[in-house]
Amino acid sequence: MPKISHSALRRNFRDLLATPICVETASVFDPMSARIAADLGFEVGILGGSVASLQVLAAPDFALITLSEFVEQATRIGRVAQLPFIADADHGYGNALNVMRTVEELERAGVAALTIEDTLLPAQFGRKSTDLISVEEGIGKVKAALEARVDPELSIIARTNAGVLPTPDVIARTKAYEKAGADGICMVGVKDFEHLEQIAENLTVPLMLVTYGNPQLHDSERLASLGVRIVVAGHGAYFAAIKATYDSLRAQRQLTHSTSNLSATELTHTYTLPESYVAWAEEFMDVKE
């Protein structure tokens, strides 16, 4: 099978953004999953920050993974990927200058697009983990990302949380990021179609939604009509892998005297030790997760 260049994959992603359809991402977390997703005909994949944290650190999604660790994983995927994939680059691993470094590294890794969010990460002393930076700082990060890219085909997608601000503030933020030059807007926390319509009617760039399977947004044709081109419903493939690993190793140990009904979510909670991290945060940071 002839390999597709990173630049060609980026052009394919831009073509997807320009097409009036809405597609769902495949969760790709290693070279094998990327090859499987491409073979099954997925148009786009995504390397989630939370998934990378689980796979590399077995840690919860508390902004613990470093840029170099995330880039290493993205590079492994980019080496074999035959579908464009998006990197969830969190907050760019710091301020606007760190964002420039993040873009440089992920571009070399072979990603087709990356999201930079305006969440205040890592959570600051006495602050909630859903707090956002100022819109002015968010604009600076978008402009820094655009300045740092070398391949103009690489898509820079600005991400915000539409669920923690009043709708007029969400509209103001997303319009500001569009004006700053973002190639697309990614939102998490959109409640339903009415909420989406209020925001989308003010934007002209393609939209990307992180829905986590929200049934109130389960209509791809309607999403497409509102400018949504990419949907991230979740990372079911990786969580299925966790469950399969547990069940396989349990069977290998011949633990057949009782049946484990632990779900993938419960297993993840068990083995990432979130209570310990929350306790440390409360003791050392006074952060209430």
Residue showing tokens 């070279």? 31
Q: Which of 78, 84, 64 is nearest to 9 (CA)?
A: 84
- The conformation of residue 80, written as its DSSP 8-state character, comes to T
Q: Is 5 annotated as a binding residue?
A: no
The span from the CA of 246 to the CA of 252, in Å, is: 10
- The conformation of residue 131, written as its DSSP 8-state character, comes to -
Q: Which of 9, 1, 2 is nearest to 153 (CA)?
A: 9
Q: Which of 85, 118, 90, 86 is nearest to 102 (CA)?
A: 90
Residue showing tokens 């979510």? 265
Residue showing tokens 């660790």? 69
The span from the CA of 200 to the CA of 102, in Å, is: 28
Q: Is 159 annotated as a binding residue?
A: yes
Greatest extent of the chain over all pairs of C-alpha atoms, in Å: 62
Q: Is 235 annotated as a binding residue?
A: yes
CB–CB of 11/153 below 8 Å?
yes
Binding site residues for substrate, as ranges? 50, 159, 235
Binding site residues for Mg(2+), as ranges? 88
Binding site residues, as ranges? 50, 88, 159, 235
